[in-house]
Amino acid sequence: MKYKNDLEKNAKLMVAPGKGILAADESSGTIAKRLEQINVESSFENRLAYRDMLFTTTDLNKYISGVILFDETIRQTLYNGNSVPDYLSQQGILPGIKVDKGTQPFALHNEEFITNGLDGLSARLKEYNELGAKFAKWRAVIKIENNLPSEACIYANAHALARYAAICQDNGIVPIVEPEVLMNGSHTIEKCYDVTKLTQEVVFDELAKLDVMLEGIILKPSMVISGDTCESQAEPDLVAEMTVKCLKATVPANVPGCAFLSGGQSDVDATVHLNLMNKKYDLPWNLTFSYGRALQHPAIMSWKGKKENVKTSQEILFHRSMVNGLASMGEYNSSMEDKVS
């Protein structure tokens, strides 16, 4: 494979011990909702101000290995005069890029979705490579409800993920493979386990069919967790146990690491679950985080679009990055939540 060494090197850097990934790849619609929470208009300048606050956080590189960017963001210039990817690279943080084009209804399958974005992907990746991107992300969405997901939905999304991963590697870009099993619903943790296990089995089957080099990918899985409206919410120890059991049943040992999505968990729950997995279990891969809301939410609520709040908000982001970095080594404890520094 042409880019074998670069892919392996960058994949390992993305899941380096004690570090994880900041997901800052919100689409225009999602970032607008985030800013709306703090009564800030989603203008180009306000989006830049928010991202500048995040990315120029002092010592962020101690606990963040990479940042997933959106198309607008990878083209932006920070207030210090550096382009976003150049500045991140200078800090030793790998720039990444969201390349899927979102979801659309899956034909003949009510209430299920397929992810778009394969058309023209190779050309887009070539441009993103020139802009400085070292990795990419593609998210598939699997919904649990009554008789869902259908096998057709799982297979179609898994095949799209594999095609995306192959195109990435053909362009020297590490693919983050994200088959998200949504936590929305009343399903039990046992149901979540069954769906997540099947989904990940099919994803790795499809990756193998397309000769994707597993040493040059990162898996971004969901944790195995109770549905958010399930009457019986699983305790953290059970979440850790079931998630690790699922990973060991489906993820080959030559995958460098898994960087979990937070998927609607609270900031602290996402940290606690990650810590327990690393503290209690012997694992063949590095388990870390690729959190968006669980890292950003406390910071944006502090920032409120005001310059005078930037330093405090950056301290909050650094703190959440730190506690998750420690959780990725099983070294977190709840007393760390009492201080922000």
Catalytic residues: 178, 220
Q: Is 306:254 a contact under the CB 8 Å cutoff?
A: no
Query: For residue 235, what are its two tokens?
Result: 């305790």
Residues in the chain: 341
On the question of a cis peptide bond just before residue 149, with omega within 30 degrees of 0, the verdict is yes
Residue 282: other Cβ atoms inside 10 A: 6
The position carrying tokens 């991107």 is: 133
Residue at 27: amino acid letter = S
On the question of a cis peptide bond just before residue 179, with omega within 30 degrees of 0, the verdict is no
Burial of 115 (0-12, 13-18, 19+ CB in 10 A): buried
Burial of 244 (0-12, 13-18, 19+ CB in 10 A): buried
Three-state DSSP at 97 gives strand
